[in-house]
A and B are shown apart, each in its own frame.
Chain A
Amino acid sequence: MSNGEHQNTVTLTVDGVDVTVPEGTRVIEAAERVGVVVPRYCYHPGIPTRPAQCRMCLVEVEGRPKLEPSCTLQAEDGMVVLTASKTAEDARQAVIEFLLVNHPLDCPICDAAGQCMLQDFAYVTNQLESRMDEPKQIMGRDRISDDILYFADRCIICTRCVRFMRDVAHDDALIVAERGHKSYIDTFPGRELNNPFQGNIVDVCPVGALVHEDFVFKARAWDMDATASVCPGCSTGCNVTIDTKENQIVRMKPRHNSKVNSYWMCDYGRKHLVMTNRGVRAEVPMIRDGDKLRATDWETAISWVARQMEIVGHETGSAVISPQMSNEDLSLLWSLLNWLQIEKVEFQVSSGETASLPSVPKLKLRADRAPNAFGLELFGAERVQHLSSETPESPLVVMGDLLQDAPEKFGMGASFFLYLGTRLPEAARNAHAILPVVTFAEMDGTFTNFEGRVQRFHQALNPPGIARPGWMVLSRILAELGTGDVISDVRSAFDHLVKNEQAFEGLSWDGIGLKGAPVRGGHEEVKNLVPS
């Protein structure tokens, strides 16, 4: 429809509500349009094959003798679908009873409990008792890859995992082994499950059969808080949900965005993000006091930094920025750099091997292992292979964690060395002031992905100590210098971005929503904005 092509539509009735959908739409999706979620197991919107084998989504269609699987049934004009007729409900309840025949009902120790489609639909169908009093079949558990466990007893053989691997990742590593009630999921004889996107099989598992080993027994669903975020692992910017428990990231899950990552994310991103928890953090501002750095409070630190800047004055210097910083951070930082008249801004992106998911062309683990290199380029920063080790005697601003491998004497000669970071690498000790900022997980903000899509992320964790978002710290310094207002909320920071950087013109914090929006009207224009 978007390109103005004429598309035929059909109108059907789902549970008494008329709905008009494009021709070829399946009934299960047509029902969703009117808010009817037909219980399903084997159907997954991101997996192209639909075997119609779980028989959970059977619906009654007026005039047809048998119940029909709504996941494969094409919507037709005048079709009258009853998703909750007595026959359909009875059949659904029976499916749940059948599924529970051999299910161990180990919900109290199952990691999926609380987020389990078997639990959900058992309640929905009111299947709370079983007539089964014969002994259950016991299958045991298995390690299906080096980081994924398979609990065969819990498995309902919906084959989503097998079909994700086969039909989305184009990797035949997983199979259904054996037959009938002895069926279980296994790797193909002689093959190993070793795919950069294999973690998604855990997400598609509707029950607790597939569990990441680093998550097993770690957190109950109701103990976790979910936050919408963006994966900082590479420049793709997969939309994710961060699950936290007691101020720790325990799990990452992909969040659907048809324009970026569909329903998936790569394993690198999944694990990389959990690692952001670890390590010693910069927790309080520190200012130079003779040979030493002295911890202090924000007010003192900011006025001291502003005073020092006024002393060095508008002197040409240099800046090194990490591509992990948000657009808002960059916007405020550039205001400061402009005040300092610093034009030489460098950034370095670590790179790694790429990986792609064949059926989602946009979704790749990209070589640029940072979320906002594109944003930096929009601001006009220069990408370099190595940071300059020689520092001339001029002001130097370093923002972000990129000094881990810097030489010991980095920045020693600078007339004023300001370091804003989340950690305390050795080279940071040469700074005149260390201002602790927070990671993307500890604040709200936006990243610009590889094709210029601005995407929002939200605060999932409390920052350590008194660390604050970079843009907030920078706005205070600017206010102290008398060139701006104090910005304390992310909307204002985003407005600052929109006002100061032309590429972001026309965007608004609410407008880009949770799915993001491209800079300057479209991805095509972006190519002209950034020199290749």
Chain B
Amino acid sequence: MSFPYVHELETRTLLSEYQGKKDARTLKSWRDEGGYQRVRKAIDMSPDTITDVVKESGLRGRGGAGFPTGLKWSFMPKEDGKPHYLCCNADESEPGAFKDREIIRWTPHLLIEGCLIGARAIGAEHVYIYVRGEFFEDTQHLNKAVVEAYEAGFVGSNIMGSTWSCDITIHTGAGAYIAGEETGLMNSLMGNRAEPWAKPPFPAQAGAFGMPTTVNNVETLSTVPGIIEHGSEWYRQWGSEKSPGTKLWSCSGHLVRPGNYEIALGVPLRDIIFDVCGGTPSGKPVKAVIPGGSSTAFLSAAELDCATTYEGMQEVGSSLGTASPIVMDEDTDIVRAMRRIAQFYAHESCGQCVQCREGTSWIVRILQKIESGDGRLRDIDTLYDLCEQMTGRTICVLADSVVFPLKSSLDKFRAEYEAKMTSDKVAVG
């Protein structure tokens, strides 16, 4: 198997065309491939037109929530006299997701183009790329690319001889999942603890440094140059009405060929797992899949025929999230897997909201107890109740993020939990 491995189901056009090709990192070869022409085009367009094109394309935020990007941009106030900021969220920390890193590593200029076009659309003259601290090597590539772009006059003042100026600053985080939440990210950017703030104020009203700000994911922004180049109709050739376009899939877990694949939205999840990734290495059946990164609900083997669209995933009670399926084969201990996921969220909770701070660690302790065989049936009821109490009651959705996998694992794999409880203790409980 050669790298990059390309499967027939893949659509390597928009995001991953140059992944695996080292030369694409340099400005010279990026320009040879037509790079920065899209920025030129965007400069000639009015900000509203850019927003409209992205709106028409139906592009949805790739950071997990799937909020329409064009609509988000349109929330930014116009001609308010304040500086606007674009924050590029490169704090990719969702367990299972490793798509943004690949974009930064292979095609930093694609991201810079996306940032510039996005900034142009929202009237920002400064872009902050908030990169996860652990992405050390990738940040170096990005740094190099930004320097090159500055030197070539593609970033900075009077870009490409126009009257438009835009700066890019790369800011590395110190490694916190919660810095990937948009208000947490902005707090961290401003030098505070990465703690999400209660909205309002929304970022478009008062975000980074108190100014109107838009936060977009790396993949979202990297999709924009293609849309600007070819138009919204071209982008809509892939995917469904509500979920158009292609998406990078970070596939991991018990797979023959784990990795990143750019696939048009709408392909059945089963095909991604079994065709593109080649199924489980052991050949054993799949027991469960977490389709969109660890904060999405478990899917059982019976639910794998769902369409990989935002709405298709919702139909089976999960969500597309960051499109990062973690595949678990028959031998997987669901309770153990869930305990590990819960530990992650307990570790990453910022500690502001009581439900999240105490709830996540309590869940871990209950799961540890069940895992060690000391659990009782009533613990399952307690877990269900904690799920109830931790949903929609907190500033951000970190608490909800542990509830989705926990509740779905209880719903779908309750027998596994009960099997951990030895019969005499169950009788007592």
What is the interface of chain A, defined by CB distance below 8 A to chain B? 51-56, 58, 65-67, 69, 72, 90-91, 94-95, 98-99, 101-102, 131-132, 134-135, 137, 156-157, 159, 176, 178-183
Contacts and interface: CB of A to CB of B under 8 A. Distances in A.
Interface string B357-372: 1111110011011000
Given A53-B353, A55-B355, 12 more contacts: A51-B352, A53-B198, A54-B354, A56-B354, A58-B393, A90-B389, A134-B365, A134-B366, A157-B357, A159-B352, A180-B347, A180-B348
B351 A180 contact: yes
B365 A135 contact: yes
Of listed A65, A69, A94, A178, residue having the most chain B CB within 10 A: A94
A179 B350 contact: yes
Nearest to B351: A183
A179 B369 contact: no
A532 B358 CA distance: 59
A179 B351 contact: yes
B144 interface: no
Nearest to A65: B392
Contacts of B197: 51
24 contacts: A51-B198, A55-B353, A55-B354, A55-B393, A66-B393, A95-B354, A98-B355, A98-B357, A98-B359, A98-B362, A99-B358, A102-B358, A134-B362, A134-B366, A156-B354, A157-B352, A179-B176, A179-B348, A179-B349, A179-B350, A180-B350, A180-B351, A180-B361, A181-B346
Nearest to B194: A179
A181 B358 contact: yes
A142 B366 CA distance: 29
Contacts of B369: 134
A53 B395 contact: yes
A91 B389 CA distance: 7
A101 B351 contact: no
Contacts of A157: 351-352, 357
Interface residues of B, number: 33
B193 interface: yes
Of listed B347, B358, B366, B389, residue having the most chain A CB within 10 A: B358
A50 B360 CA distance: 23
Q: Which 9 A-B pairs have the closest CB atoms?
A: A180-B349, A53-B352, A181-B361, A183-B351, A98-B358, A134-B365, A94-B389, A52-B198, A180-B351
For the residues of B in contact with A, the DSSP-based class is helix
Nearest to B368: A134
Contacts of A58: 393
Contacts of A131: 378, 382
Contacts of B359: 98
Contacts of A72: 198
A72 B197 CA distance: 11
B300 interface: no
A137 B346 CA distance: 13
Interface in B188-245: 193, 195, 197-198
A431 to B, nearest CB: 63
Contacts of A54: 353-354
B229 to A, nearest CB: 40
A176 B351 contact: yes
B394 interface: yes
A173 to B, nearest CB: 15
Given A134-B366, A157-B351, A181 B198 contact: no
Contacts of A56: 354
Contacts of B395: 51-53
Contacts of A181: 346, 349, 351, 357-358, 360-361
Nearest to B347: A180
Contacts of A65: 392
Of listed B351, B368, B382, B394, residue having the most chain A CB within 10 A: B351
A65 B350 CA distance: 25
Contact of B355 (A95, A179, A182): A95
Nearest to B358: A98
A1 to B, nearest CB: 26
A46 B379 CA distance: 42
A183 B357 CA distance: 9
A370 B375 CA distance: 65
B360 to A, nearest CB: 7
Nearest to A90: B389
Contacts of B393: 55, 58, 66-67, 91, 94
A180 B343 CA distance: 11
A403 to B, nearest CB: 55
A53 B353 CA distance: 5
Contacts of B193: 176
Contacts of B357: 98, 157, 180-181, 183
A134 B394 CA distance: 24
A90 B351 CA distance: 21
A181 B394 CA distance: 15
A167 B193 CA distance: 15
A95 B357 CA distance: 11
Interface string B318-340: 00000000000000000000000
Nearest to A135: B365
Contacts of A101: 358, 361-362
Nearest to A184: B351
A132 to B, nearest CB: 7
Nearest to B369: A134
Nearest to A175: B193
A257 to B, nearest CB: 30
Given A72-B198, A156-B354, A183-B357, A66 B392 contact: yes
A452 to B, nearest CB: 40
Contacts of B348: 179-180
A88 B350 CA distance: 24
A244 B72 CA distance: 60
Contacts of B347: 179-180
A101 B386 CA distance: 12
Interface string B164-201: 00000000000010000000000000000101011000
A51 to B, nearest CB: 6
A33 B59 CA distance: 48
A23 B43 CA distance: 43
Contacts of A51: 195, 197-198, 352, 395
A212 B193 CA distance: 28
A102 B356 CA distance: 13
Of listed A65, A69, A101, A156, residue having the most chain B CB within 10 A: A101
Contacts of A91: 389, 393
Of listed A65, A178, A183, residue having the most chain B CB within 10 A: A183
A55 B394 contact: yes
B378 to A, nearest CB: 8
Contacts of B394: 55
Of listed B176, B357, B394, B395, residue having the most chain A CB within 10 A: B357
Contacts of B349: 179-181
A102 B347 CA distance: 16
B383 to A, nearest CB: 10
A449 B347 CA distance: 52
Contacts of A180: 346-351, 356-357, 360-361
Contacts of B352: 51, 53, 157, 159
B412 to A, nearest CB: 24
Nearest to A58: B393
A442 to B, nearest CB: 45
Contacts of B389: 90-91, 94, 98
A135 B366 CA distance: 10
B362 A132 contact: yes
A19 B353 CA distance: 30
A69 B198 contact: yes
A52 to B, nearest CB: 4
Nearest to B193: A176
A91 B353 CA distance: 12
Of listed A137, A156, A180, residue having the most chain B CB within 10 A: A180
Contacts of A159: 352
A101 B390 CA distance: 15
A98 B350 CA distance: 16
